[in-house]
Amino acid sequence: MTEIGVVTCGGDCPGLNAVIRAVVVRASAAGARIWGVRNGWRGLAEGDLVPLTRDDVRGLIGRGGTILGTSRMDPYLHGSGLETLRPAADRLDALVVVGGDGSLRTAARLATEGLPVVGVPKTIDNDVPGTDTSFGFDTAVQVVTDAIDRLTTTAEAHNRVMLVEVMGRTTGWIAAYSGIAGGAEAVLVPEVPYDLEELADSIRRRHRSGRPYSIVVVAEGVPGPDGRPVVAGEDSLGFARLGGVAHALAPRLEELTGYEVRVSVLGHLQRGGSPTAYDRVLATRMGVLAAELALEGRTGTMTALRGDEVVAVDLDVVREEPRGLPPSRYRLASWFFA
Ligand code: F6P
């Protein structure tokens, strides 16, 4: 019998359970046995695998988080690569790895050591190379757009400037898309340098022209007033944890505009809860294809959205740089500023 594993790695993201469900439904229909690896790579290292049947995944499509748990353990940083994952890894004919660019890079490295992996890209940041988009992004943009709608009415009531800090790591996808959808007066993204005095001028012009409130969306990866990323400590792998740039910019913007500035940091709200219908469908399409690739032994691959099709691409694509926001998309957002 074909033995297929599925593991969710790195930060969680709406749609992970929809992928697990799709892998289980599709692979079990072909007669395979499916193993859920608990808590990311750590579960594989510890042999913490649970059998998953169709019954175990009923009702999962709309549930946030991941029933398998996740962790930021990395077999190369915290162990000796594939060796650390044996003997559990050896029991599997294929392992579906659902991860962001970091976890998929680890998967690509394990593939060169002989682990038969199929990658599925997930992230709210939308920065995984090789795919036009990842599930989780649409949900995050919807959450931020809803928040902007709410912040706009209170900003208007008090004649305030609202700085809305959003996730996205080194990219401005969430900021730009939610800024467009929410009608923000300005959006700051890491890909485009900003000038705080120019921003203050445009806000002043807007307020003086009879619209005395503004929403400014700030991506967490935007540098602070000193030109350096603003960090809120380190994650468990020793990587900088971004956060705090809106608070760092607020006093200066208040000084330059003369208006009251308030900060709203949306944080993990953007990652929690139910995926949108779009993300449920995309995650399901990717999970079904991943199961088929695993069943056919087409490992060393990743599922990707290309145009309107979900296709298999070489997993090595994840070694490329994170996919930044294209300048044209920022230009589109900027037509509507202030
Ligand atoms: O990569 C997803 C993401 O939510 C980023 O947008 C954010 O910078 C980071 O993870 C937060 O990670 P943690 O959950 O470890 O705080």
For residue range 103-150, what is the model confidence (pLDDT) as tens digits? Answer: 999 999 999 999 999 999 999 999 999 999 999 999 999 999 999 999
Distance 233 CA to ligand 1 centre (A): 12
Residue 231 — pLDDT band, cuts 50, 70, 90?
very high
3-136+275-319: CATH architecture: 3-Layer(aba) Sandwich (3.40)
pLDDT at 186: 98
153 Cβ neighbours under 8 A, 6+ residues apart: none
Residue 222 — pLDDT band, cuts 50, 70, 90?
very high
Percent of the chain at pLDDT > 90 equals 96
Query: With respect to CATH, is domain 139-271 assigned 3.30.70.20?
Result: no
126 Cβ neighbours under 8 A, 6+ residues apart: 133, 134, 137, 168, 171, 173, 174, 323
- The arithmetic mean of pLDDT across residues 307-327, rounded, is 97
Six-digit token string for 102:
């970091």
Six-digit token string for 131:
């795919």
Active site residue 48: no
Q: Output the CA–CA distances (angstroms, integers) from residue 203 to 154, 207, 311, in the order listed.
A: 17, 6, 45
Give me the residue spans of the domains in the chain.
3-136+275-319, 139-271
CA distance 141 to 177: 7
For residue 165, give the DSSP letter: E
pLDDT at 263: 98
Residue 330 — pLDDT band, cuts 50, 70, 90?
very high
Instruction: Indicate whether residue 155 lines ligand 1 (CB < 6 A).
Output: no
Task: Give residue 137's Cα distance to chain centre.
Answer: 6
Q: Are 132 and 307 in contact (CB under 8 A)?
A: yes
- Nearest-CA neighbor of 192 among 332, 320, 319, 321? 332
Instruction: Take atom 10 of ligand 1 and give the residue whose Cα is closest.
Output: 11
pLDDT at 109: 98
CA distance 118 to 293: 7
AA identity, residue 182: G
Q: Are 44 and 27 in contact (CB under 8 A)?
A: no
Query: What pLDDT digit, counting tens, does each position of 163-205 carry?
Result: 999 999 999 999 999 999 999 999 999 999 999 999 999 999 9
Judge whether residue 84 has pLDDT over 80: yes
133 Cβ neighbours under 8 A, 6+ residues apart: 126, 282, 305
* Identical fold, 3-136+275-319 and 139-271: yes
Q: What is the mean pLDDT of the chain?
A: 97
Query: What pLDDT digit, counting tens, does each position of 44-66 carry?
Result: 999 999 999 999 999 999 999 99
Ligand 1 atom with least separation from CA of 125: 6
pLDDT at 338: 84
Q: Are 140 and 122 in contact (CB under 8 A)?
A: no
pLDDT at 239: 78
